[in-house]
Structure 1
Amino acid sequence: MMLFASGVNFGFRRTIPHMAGIGAGFFSLLIGVGLGLGALLHTMPLVYTVLKFAGGAYLVWIAWKIASSRSLSEGRSSAAPMSFVSAAAFQWVNPKAWVMAVTAMATYTNPELYLASVLIVGLAFAVVNLPSVSTWAGFGSALRKWLSDPVRLKWFNITMAVLLVASLWPMLK
């Protein structure tokens, strides 16, 4: 949803660093979890709880920024899409990314060829990531013209923000 909203508000080209940052950040998270950081979550539940609420708070802040964006021209001048570094770093506090990384490593790694399988899982996710994030940003970018009407854009941004916050519900239960 964040990439969809970024595609609408900033266009596909200006969203590329955000897309690349997600790919690099999630790849590094997958490798980190594969090399043992996932075990930290199992042995220290408080770390997971802190991570979950910090990530949730950050997503609520992003939702607020999306909901309060006023116009497409505002996106060109005063606001900016998420940078490569911000998007990559966000993966490390995104509880949904952690759940996916831990699940992927637990499901798809082979204990006999563990390091090789960690790398293969990371590379497989990286290959799938690019078309996935490009699709979200591309659909958003394709709606830019239709959403150039300020009323439509306002309600689109509010809807995207509400959906982003709603996506936290399963994680916070």
Structure 2
Amino acid sequence: MENSLLLGLVSYVCVMSITPGPNNVMLMSSGLLFGFRRTCPHMLGIPLGMIAQLWLVAAGLGVLFAMEPGLQLALKAAGSLYLLWLAARLWRAAEMEEARASRPITLLQAVVFQFVNPKAWLAAATAIAAFTPPGGGYLSHLLVICLVFVAVGLPCIAIWVGFGAALKPWLRRPGVALRINRAMAALTGLTIILFWI
């Protein structure tokens, strides 16, 4: 891959990975509830799911999504329902201890969530379209794209986990835990809007 194309790819992955979205809100919430170490499987599942999506888009699934708008609608609906369920779970937790007693999202759950996350599909389709040349070298470019999504994306999403984990000391103050919990639930619910714009 040429240096200019690689620089564009790195910039693209950085922007897509660090900007707010469903994954980052869930990661921040998990960092807050469970800490950095216990959120690592969730954090690792995101780029693994992304790699699977990149390969599927490269194999032609992106064309299917473009031709069948109903599939996009189904993805948005499934992703929205999942986020509503997570937000409701957070909102109903009367105290942070109740939320903390639950378990963090697993690696497999994080991988599967990527398949109902329209932002992730859009990122994969755009990356394949923009950073793979027509003709030769397609496979090598695809491998580089996958590596960049891990090497650049992982540190970007780790920032969100770290931010959530940094808020943990505030949880010891009376009433703060409930307000933070409700704020995380509201943010999780609000990310649904990102699916539909």
Please, what TM-score do these two structures have when normalized by structure 2?
0.80
Q: Which residue of 2 aligns with 1:91?
A: 114
Q: CA deviation at 1:72?
A: 4.0
1:167 is displaced (CA, Å) by 2.3
CA distance in 2, matches of 1:34, 1:172: 24
Task: Give the aligned partner of residue 50 of structure 1.
Answer: 74
- Unpaired segments of 5 or more residues in structure 1? none
Q: Percent identity?
A: 41
**Alpha-carbon shift at residue 148 of structure 1 (Å):** 2.5
Other-structure match for 2:141? 117
Counterpart in the other structure of 1:82: 105
* Inter-CA distance 118–150: structure 2 relative to 1 (3 Å threshold): farther
Which amino acid in 2 is paired with 1:154? L
Inter-partner Cα distance in structure 1 for 2:128 and 2:91? 35
Cα separation, partners in 2 of 1:73 and 1:10, compared to 1, 3 Å: same
Match of 2:64 among 37, 40, 47: 40
Q: Which residue of 2 aligns with 1:73?
A: 97
CA offsets, 1:96-149, max 9 Å, x none?
111111112111111122222122112111111211121111111111011223
Shift of 1:75: 4.1
String of CA shifts for 1:3-43, please: whole Å, max 9, x gaps: 11101111111111111111211121122112211111011
**Where does residue 54 of structure 2 map in the other structure?**
30
> Residue 82 of structure 1: SS of its match in structure 2?
coil
Per the TM alignment, residue 161 of structure 1 is displaced from its structure 2 partner at its CA by 2.1
Q: Is the 8 A contact 1:71 1:148 kept in 2?
A: no
Verify: 1:101 aligned to 2:120, yes or no.
no
Which of 148, 167, 170 does residue 146 from structure 1 map onto? 170
In structure 2, relative to structure 1, the CA distance for the partners of 1:105 and 1:23 (3 Å cut) is: same
Per the TM alignment, residue 44 of structure 1 is displaced from its structure 2 partner at its CA by 1.4
Residue equivalent to 2:193: 169
